[in-house]
Structure 1
Amino acid sequence: MDKLVAILEQQEIEYEIIEHNKQLNSAQEGADYFGISIGQTAPTLILKSEKGFYALIVSGDHGKVDFATLRELLSVEQVKLASPQEVEEVTCSKIGNVSLINQGLLTILDRKLIRYEFVYGGTGHPLTTLKIRPSDLEKLNQIVDWI
Structure 2
Amino acid sequence: MDKLISILQNNKIDYEIIKHSKQIHSAQEGADYFGIHIGQTAPTLILKIEKGYYSLIISGDYGRVDLESIKKLLEVEQIKLAKPIEVEQVTGCKIGSIPLINQGTPTIFDRQLFRFSYVYGGTGVPQTTLKIQPKDLEKLNDIIMYLRE
TM-score (norm. length: structure 1): 0.99
**Structure 1 residue 13 and structure 2 residue 10: aligned?**
no
Q: Does 1:75 pair with 2:75?
A: yes
C-alpha distance in 2 between matches for 1:134 and 1:68: 25
Q: In the TM superposition, what are the counterparts of 1:23-34 in structure 2 within 5 Å?
A: 23-34=23-34
- Cα distance in 2 between the residues matched to 1:50 and 1:91: 18
How far did 1:37 drift? 0.3
Q: Could you tell me how far apart the structure 2 residues matched to 1:72 and 1:144 are?
A: 14
**2-structure distance, mates of 1:96, 1:146:** 22
Partner residue of 2:57? 57
Unmatched segments (≥5 aa) in structure 2? none
Q: Percent identity?
A: 65
Structure 2 equivalent of residue 143 of structure 1: 143
Q: In structure 1, how many angstroms separate the alpha carbons of the residues matched to 2:64 and 2:102?
A: 23
Q: What do the CA deviations read for 1:106-144 (whole angstroms, capped 9, x no partner)?
A: 000011100000000000011100000000010000000
Structure 1 consecutive aligned stretches of length 4 or more whose deviation exceeds 3 Å: none
Q: What SS does the aligned partner of 1:135 have?
A: helix
The separation in 2 between residues aligned to 1:116 and 1:42, in whole angstroms, is 11
More displaced stretch, 1-10 vs 69-78: 69-78
Q: Which amino acid aligns with 2:27?
A: A
Partner secondary structure for residue 29 of structure 2:
helix
1:46 alignment counterpart: 46
Residue 66 of structure 1 deviates from its aligned partner by 0.8
Paired positions, count: 147
Which whole-Å CA distance do the structure 1 matches of 2:146 and 2:24 have between them?
Answer: 26
The match for 1:36 is 36
- Partners in 2 of 1:13 and 1:80 — Cα distance? 32
Q: CA RMSD in A?
A: 0.5
Question: Which amino acid is the alignment partner of residue 37 of structure 2?
Answer: S
Q: 1:116 is aligned with what amino acid? A: F
Q: Which runs of 5+ in 1 are unaligned?
A: none
Q: Please give the alpha-carbon distance, in whole angstroms, between the structure 2 residues aligned to 1:91 and 1:17.
A: 19
Once structures 1 and 2 are overlaid, which stretch shifts more, 33-42 or 66-75?
66-75
